[in-house]
């Protein structure tokens, strides 16, 4: 479960929950098939499609040192009708 970082909860993603779509930040090295296996096993759901994209790096500056923020891959998952993922459960409290 280390591959899946956390669910993304914004105004836009909460609107997508009505269409049975969930958005997660995942490890940048994980593939779609790995993510599908993890989510289907961990939440006991069936997935129709997975779309993914990498977020752009953001420039950070500490005094004279310039660097970049950590980069994640964001995944949009569409579930079969009748399935859902509890986003506010105890599984996410440790993350």
CB 59 within 8 A of CB 66: yes
Block mean pLDDT (10 aa), the chain, length 95: 80 88 90 90 92 86 81 89 76 49
The whole-number pLDDT of residue 22 equals 92
The whole-number pLDDT of residue 91 equals 52
The whole-number pLDDT of residue 7 equals 85
The whole-number pLDDT of residue 50 equals 94
Fold that domain 4-81 belongs to in CATH: Alpha-Beta Plaits (3.30.70)
From its phi and psi, is residue 20 left (phi > 0), alpha (psi between -120 and 50) or beta?
A: left
Residues counted in the chain = 95
81 is written with which tokens?
A: 């009708």
The whole-number pLDDT of residue 42 equals 87
The whole-number pLDDT of residue 89 equals 54
d(CA 72, CA 78): 20
């Amino acid at each position: 479960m280390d591959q899946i970082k956390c669910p993304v909860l914004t105004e836009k993603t909460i609107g997508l929950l009505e269409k049975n779509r969930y958005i997660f930040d995942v490890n940048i090295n994980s593939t779609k098939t790995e993510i599908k296996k993890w989510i289907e096993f961990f939440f006991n759901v069936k997935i129709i499609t997975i779309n993914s994209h990498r977020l752009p790096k953001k420039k950070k500056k500490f005094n004279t040192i310039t660097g970049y923020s950590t980069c994640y891959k964001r995944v949009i998952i569409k579930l079969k009708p009748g399935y859902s993922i509890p986003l506010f459960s105890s599984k996410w409290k440790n993350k």
